A and B are shown apart, each in its own frame.
Chain A
Amino acid sequence: MGMTMTEKILARAGGKKRVSPGEIAVVEVETAVLIDLSFLPEGWREVLKVYDPEKVVIVFDHLVPAASVQAASCHKTGREFARKFGISRLHDVGLDQGISHAVVAERGYALPGTVLVNSDSHTCAAGAFNCAARGVGAPDLLWAITTGTAWFRVGETIRYDFTGSFSPGVTAKDLFLAIAGTYGAHVNQNIEYGGPGLKALSIDARRTLATMGAEFSAEFTIFEADEILIEYVRARNEKPFEPVSPDLDASYKERRAIDLGAILPLVALPDAVVNQSVPVSAVAGTRIDQAFIGSCANGTLEDLEIAARVVKGKKVARGTRFIVTPSTQAIYRAALKAGHVETLLEAGALVTPATCGACVGGHMGVLGPGEVCITASTRNFKGRMGDPSAKIFMASPATVAASAIAGKIAAAEEVFA
């Protein structure tokens, strides 16, 4: 019996011939990413040894720039830790900062065929790069940076095979919502994506889908490596790497085929992400107070480009706030050069610095009691973005931008007709 991609990476990193569902795999961690929340005083402890400073990355992302003394203290602790152990990959507030998963992507830190951990649930984002990346807790991160290892429960794998390509105006978020609406959660399971339709998915699209793996409650979310992916990483990281492919006789719990051409724009209803998807038309006309595009899932350059295209020459509805948060400062600069930032600002959007910000109910877009928001971000749990009585719908950046202009939930279809 062959192995899935997840099993192959875990076996390789654990120095074993094979691993199988039900096992606990103890593996070498190639990349350990610390974020500002890793340095919260109750979780962080004085570290006495670092296994290998070259394997550590530090990115401040949840509250940037610091919105409170507590956040500033986390940043300070992180800087001091980086200095003490000579950690060069510190992405401090400024030029090369961003949401950790997006920084990992744009710097090519996630090497195909290796293991990466980060104490944020959306770490599976790096699965777009054929990397076994998993969100762990802050204590796991302390363990990983001091011992160079991590443990994982090996789960069963669901394989998705893509064919075709998206219709105009349909994006990876709609694909996610389609899978989430049909198949729901994937608790204790791995998700693997591949198939002939993979070539029609850009790296940004794959990142969105991989990031949303956390909302499937999946253990790992791993994409097959193709030339597009290998070129992308090679252009950013000089280190050698060896991607994995699934064995032809790999054992899957289930194999599911998805025709990308059949995906339509969808919206997730408030309070939960999975099993909540409805067509945009089912909720069109719902009045909104805020529209948000951002987070590790939807602050890519492609997301900003499509938002700018939808709002170009139009104005955000009176009474609606439109907040756009690029995932990294590099994306912000690229969007500025391409004219997207100007287009968004002219329409009446706020474009904030790169941070988790509103997605995590942190700052720069927190919702008040009873408010209604449509978001292109990671999560719409009750209370996620602010007051628990706020209602959060989730959709693609195109749908969110069209809704910002309308002041109510609206389809972006006419722009792409």
Chain B
Amino acid sequence: MIAARVWKFGDNINTDLILPGPYLYRSPEEQARAVFEANRPGWVDQVKKGDAIVAGFNFGMGSSRPAARSLKNCGVGFLVAETINGLFFRNSVNFGLLALECPGVAAAFEEGDKALLSLSEWTLKNPRNGLVLAVSPVAAELLAIMQGGGIYPLMEEKGLIAPRS
């Protein structure tokens, strides 16, 4: 069971909000400081390590940029949305951000709620209102990469890329 404080976001949160274009060539640390600066300035100072994002439909729509890495670097422990954009999901797997789809999640949570995630039961519970939602299971191979720190350690292990010098 993973417990987290919830930050609530709406539908269609796009990659340009998470990682604004002017920061594409900056360091991951600078990128993490720019998350949501256009739609929620100051949020990066409020979010704490292990917090959860609960959002609506098509989270992470847009570009292939490493926006998932920025959320991870902000301290986001996991993300649960009604639907997650396919490209953002790939980046979540590859950068090791736990990103899950859960129909009904947007209506079941409010900002500041506590969320209890069980990956053995594939459920998400809101202790405030007692709602228990079914989380869409992620294929075992992908979940292993997501929880194992992303694809880079795997590529190093297989001798495909050199360890970071």
Residues of chain A having any CB pair with chain B under 8 Å:
24, 37, 40, 42-43, 45-49, 62-63, 68, 70-71, 74, 119-121, 134-140, 142-143, 146-147, 151, 153, 155, 185, 187-188, 214, 217, 219, 272, 360-362, 379, 381-386, 388
Q: Does B28 touch A at the CB level, under 8 Å? A: yes
Q: Assess the A42–B28 pair: CB atoms within 8 A.
A: yes
Interface residues of B in 25-41 (CB under 8 A from A): 25, 27-28, 37-39
Report the separation of the CA atoms of residues A115 and B124 in the bound assembly, to the nearest whole angstrom.
36
CB neighbours of A185 from chain B (8 A): 12, 57-58, 61
B25–A48 CB distance below 8 A: no
Partner pick for B22 among A40, A120, A361, CB 8 A cutoff: A361
Asked whether A388 and B58 contact (CB < 8 A) given A136-B64, A147-B160, the answer is no
The minimal Cβ–Cβ distance linking B134 to chain A, given in whole angstroms, is 16
Residue of A nearest to B86 (CB): A219
Residues of B within 8 A of A120 (CB): 63-64
Selected interface stretch from B42-50, B103-111, B115-123, B147-155: B147-155
Are the CB atoms of A135 and B160 closer together than 8 Å? no
Known A-B contacts A45-B152, A46-B161, A135-B87; A24 and B63 likewise in contact (beta carbons under 8 Å): no
Residue of B nearest to A118 (CB): B64
Q: A138-B66, A140-B94, A140-B151 are in contact. List 13 more A-B contacts (CB 8 A).
A: A42-B66, A62-B24, A121-B87, A135-B87, A137-B90, A139-B91, A139-B151, A139-B152, A139-B155, A146-B155, A147-B160, A185-B12, A187-B61
In the complex the two chains form, is A142's CB within 8 Å of B87's CB?
A: no
Question: Which chain B positions have C-beta within 8 A of A24?
Answer: 139, 141-142
Give Cα distance in the complex from A62 to B63, angstroms: 12
A138 vs B69: C-alpha distance in the bound complex, in angstroms?
A: 12
Report whether B160 and A49 are in contact in the complex, using a CB–CB cutoff of 8 Å: yes
Q: Which of A139, A147, A214, A360 has the most CB of B within 10 A?
A: A139
**Contact at A217–B58, with CB atoms within 8 Å?**
yes
Q: Are B155 and A45 in contact (CB under 8 A)?
A: yes
Pairs A-B, 9 closest by C-beta atoms = A388-B38, A361-B21, A139-B94, A70-B25, A146-B160, A46-B162, A45-B161, A137-B91, A381-B16
A45 touches B164 (CB 8 A): yes
Check A143–B155 contact: CB distance below 8 A. yes
Asked if residues A48 and B161 are in contact (CB atoms below 8 Å), the reply is yes
Smallest Cβ-Cβ distance to B101: which chain A residue: A188
B83 within 8 A of A: yes
Q: Which B-chain residue is minimally distant from A35 (CB atoms)?
A: B64
Q: How far is the CB of B67 from chain A (nearest CB, A)?
A: 9
Query: In the complex, which residues of chain A have a beta carbon less than 8 angstroms from the beta carbon of B152?
Result: 45, 139
Q: Which of B66, B139, B142, B162 contacts A43 (CB 8 A)?
A: B66
Q: Is B130 an interface residue (CB 8 A)?
A: no
Query: Binary interface profile of B, 54-68, with partner A (CB < 8 Å = 1, else 0)?
Result: 000110011111100
Q: Please determine whether A217 and B21 come into contact, CB atoms closer than 8 angstroms.
A: no
B12 touches A272 (CB 8 A): yes
For chain B, which range describes its interface: under 10, 10 to 19, 20 to 34, or 35 or more residues?
35 or more
Q: A139-B91, A185-B61, A388-B20 are in contact. Are A68 and B25 (CB under 8 A)?
A: yes
A383 lies within 8 A of B17 (CB): yes
- Bound together, the chains give a CA A330 to CA B17 distance in angstroms of 34
Q: Are A187 and B58 touching (Cβ within 8 A)?
A: yes
**B25:A142 contact, CB within 8 angstroms:** no
Complex: A120 Cα to B150 Cα, angstroms = 19
| Residues of chain A contacted by B38 (CB below 8 angstroms) | 382-383, 388
* Also in contact, A136 and B159, with CB within 8 A (given A143-B151, A381-B14, A388-B38): no
Q: Is the CB of B21 within 8 A of A142?
A: no
The answer for the CA separation of A155 and B84 in the assembled complex, in Å, is: 13
Residue B95 lies at the interface, judged by CB distance under 8 Å to chain A = yes
B161 touches A121 (CB 8 A): no
Q: How far is the CA of A352 from the CA of B103 in the complex (A)?
A: 46
Residues in chain A near residue B69, CB distance under 8 A: 42
With known contacts A139-B95, A187-B86, A362–B21 Cβ distance under 8 A: yes
Most buried by A among B85, B150, B161: B161
Are A142 and B160 in contact, CB atoms less than 8 angstroms apart?
A: yes
Is A137 in contact with B87, judged by CB distance below 8 angstroms? yes
Contact B91 A48 (CB under 8 A): no
**Cα–Cα distance between A151 and B165 once the two chains are bound (Å):** 28
In the bound complex, do residue B160 and residue A136 qualify as a contact, i.e. CB atoms below 8 Å apart? no
Instruction: Give chain A residues whose Cβ lies under 8 Å from the Cβ of B58.
Output: 185, 187, 217
Inter-chain contacts of A219 with B (CB < 8 A):
86
Known contacts being A135-B64, A219-B86, A362-B21, is A388 close to B37, with CB within 8 Å? yes
Judge whether B39 and A379 touch: CB under 8 Å.
no
Could you tell me the distance between the alpha carbons of A63 and B22 in the complex, rounded to whole angstroms? 12
Neighbouring A residues of B64 by C-beta, 8 Å: 119-121, 135-138
Q: Contact at A137–B94, with CB atoms within 8 Å?
A: yes
Docked complex Cα distance between A362 and B23 (Å): 10
Complex Cα gap A385–B94 (Å):
27
CB distance from B41 to the nearest CB of A (A): 9
Contacts of B39 in A (CB 8 A): 382
How far in angstroms is the closest Cβ of chain A from B39?
Answer: 7
Bound-complex Cα distance A386 to B23 (A)? 11
Q: In chain B, what residue has the closest Cβ to A274?
A: B12
Contact A136 B28 (CB under 8 A): no
